Amino acid sequence: MSDSKAPTMQRSRSQLATAYAPHSLFMFEGGLGACMALPDNGNRKADELSQTTERLIGEQIQEYFEAWAERARRGNNLKHPVPLRLAIDSRAIADNDTVRVRLGDLAFQVPNTVGYIPFPLAFRCTRCGLYRGSKSVERFSVDAPKFRNACPTGSDACANDWEQIDVVLAHWSGEVEPITPGYRHWNDEAQEIRDIEKCTSCESDRFFLERPPGALARWHFRCVVCNTVRDILQRDRETLQTLGPLLGQNLALPAEINMEPVSCRASAVYYSHGDRLLDFKADQYVSLLAQTKRGDLEAFLSSEFGYPVAQISNDQKEALLKAAGRASEWDTYIQSRRAIETLEQTGADASVLDPLRQLLRNTEDKWNATIFAGTQKASAGIATAVGLRQQFVRRFDPIRMAVEHKTLAEEKLHSGQMSDGRAVSVDVSILDEFLIPDGVTDEALERLRTQVRRRLTLLGVAEMRLVRDVRVCEYTFGYSRTSAQPVIRREKSRDAELPVRLRLFDRVRVGDVSQTPVLCLVQSNEGLYVKLDEATVLNWLSENAVQPRASDPGVRLGGLLIEEFAELEGNDDTKFSRFLDEYRRERAQDRRAYPFVYTLLHTMAHHLVNVSASMSGLDAGSFGEHIFVPNLSFLVYRRGMTMDLGNLSSMWRDRGDPTYGNEVLDRMVNPASLRCGSESVCNHRGGACPDCILLPESTCITRNELLSRSVLIGRGSPRWDKSVRNLKGFYEVAGQRAAAVRGT
């Protein structure tokens, strides 16, 4: 289909990557003319993507297919194993019947245009209801003039007024067809599919399409000659070919094979699949995730999260610095130490010695984090986590989060200026000239900053920054029909889970080869970065009887969370799978630190999005989020391919006031901002519903799982929490700590 010379159209890039992505069905303006979108050979290569980003996208797509296949093939309550080809696209299946998406087969493209053809090619007479159709676009110009020849009143008397039938037959295999009076079945004797297109009573090939009011299931065909009624019943060809031999043995159900009538306008007819990732320039830390750099990765994590440093001699330190080309630093360090010793012997005052000693400590800390990092001891838990991380789902992998956070910190949080002279990121408790409200005096500005810091403390936030250049790559690579999940249940399937097939887009021509398109949108927008106070998080966990792993003094919580995550992944009941099935079950999980910290960060991110949406003029669906669990941090940002007009910085500037610091923080502190219109029902569901903190799935990275208002304000617990004890909210704990500090 992608090689046909179909007409093309333009829409916004975000629309072409989702609503109008290849194989979607859509109606033109006015509701007339149903069409199917096709991949377009003319889309240009996404040159702005680095090789690192392309590789990461390929890895994420590979993982997506692996997780999808695993879930779709469970075959709960089915009488037969689920073949891999019914779970995923055949192009993602290797010769040894394993899942494999080849990076070289992918074409990373910018969605500027999309092709389309009229679909379905099924029509009904507006006067008598006669059904006519055509097999293909190429034949349509020949078939259409002949429609009137089938009219019961004769071709001359035919009204010749035809309307396109905007209902199709869809199947979870990804196939979609026009509705038709014909149907196919499996012939056991010949072991093949047979098509029946004529009336079984009189052999007529003409039918009226009857459309009584009500559900689509009531639609039916009626023979023009003998009035025999035929239900709309069709079977998916590929599924029938695979499962047909099992029907006669009662090992497969007709409900697994039957297609369903669906309106072209219904969302169930098409679900696009994709993901997003932060787009970084440097590969310094991301490269640590390669399997060949396991030792370096362990050293990085040990340094980042405060694991004890192995003792090394001065000779070893000098040798390491010389090997790194930094021998002069060692010479300066030795000279400084000797100077301090001389001053100590002469009885110099502490006001002179302390700053010099601090300079030496800073130098040692810098070396420990860089040159000497390889000498640090990786705890058994960290070493185990690094060894197992190839099995982790990338989206929930805390090691990847730590690496990405380090890159974000160096590239965005603590980097220099943008081309227009503004800082890349600004601490909201300090501000710069672009974030200070107009007409504020120096005295009022200091009050404003004091109030901002006070509210950050009440929220348990250690650091909050506005980031002006958040680069994100969103991409779409495939689709499914009837369900966005790997399995689907139907009433006639006897509670069996039917496999939904994940399909890649059809190939496009790229030069002299055919490749599978991946539609990429690279955007740079503003965001808000939030880092929680570690002592407050530990206090909150303790108040709720959640005990992190025991550790050596000085080891930060992030390292313990990484170790615990590896333990959780070793148990099928507690691991973080791609679709988080383990955390959808009611009252199924014991209280562990990692799920609770993730839920805390995720819920606060949603809270910030909702507050920001209400004050910035942006829709909640136009935000995105990233979670960095080991660093107790999250990032929310504006998503969109249109020009970034500085919505978030404008919001922060316009909402600033010396009385309460900033209205965004003041609203978040106010418990009323987390009230829910479905309070009792919401609490029963674990404290998360569309009336409070749920967001559109385009915004949320977990499809609204691992969320609960209770982690912020108490009065309940997440639905997966096995304990019957209500939580103490994080905001309450932060408020008590702030009051204790003020009291001293």
What are the residues whose beta carbons fall under 8 Å from the beta carbon of 463, sequence distance 6 or more?
427, 529, 530, 531
Ramachandran bin of 431, using left for φ above 0, alpha for ψ from -120 to 50, beta for the remaining angles: left
Please state, in angstroms and rounded to a whole number, the distance separating the CA atoms of residues 9 and 256.
Answer: 36
DSSP, collapsed to helix, strand or coil, labels residue 443 as helix
pLDDT tens track for 144-164? 999 999 999 999 999 999 999
The pLDDT score that the predictor gives to residue 68 is: 95
Q: What are the strands of the beta sheet with 220-223, ordered from one edge?
A: 207-210, 220-223, 229-231
The encoded tokens of residue 310 equal: 């192995």
Residue 515 burial (CB count, 10 A): 17
pLDDT tens track for 525-535? 999 999 999 99
**Is residue 29 exposed (0-12), middle (13-18) or buried (19+ Cβ within 10 Å)?**
exposed
DSSP-derived secondary structure letter, 311: P
DSSP-derived secondary structure letter, 88: B
Confidence (pTM)? 0.84
**Structural Rg of the chain based on CA atoms:** 31
CB 50 within 8 A of CB 281: yes
Q: Which residues of the chain have pLDDT under 50?
A: 1-4
The encoded tokens of residue 578 equal: 């791609």
The pLDDT score that the predictor gives to residue 172 is: 97
Residue 102 burial (CB count, 10 A): 13
CB 265 within 8 A of CB 27: yes
Least Cα distance to 312 among 240, 371, 226 occurs for: 371
Please state, in angstroms and rounded to a whole number, the distance separating the CA atoms of residues 454 and 432.
Answer: 19
Verify cis geometry, omega within 30 degrees of 0, for the bond prior to 355.
Answer: no
Q: Which residue has the tokens 């160096």?
A: 410
If residue 513 lies in a helix (H) or strand (E), which one and from where to where? strand 513-532
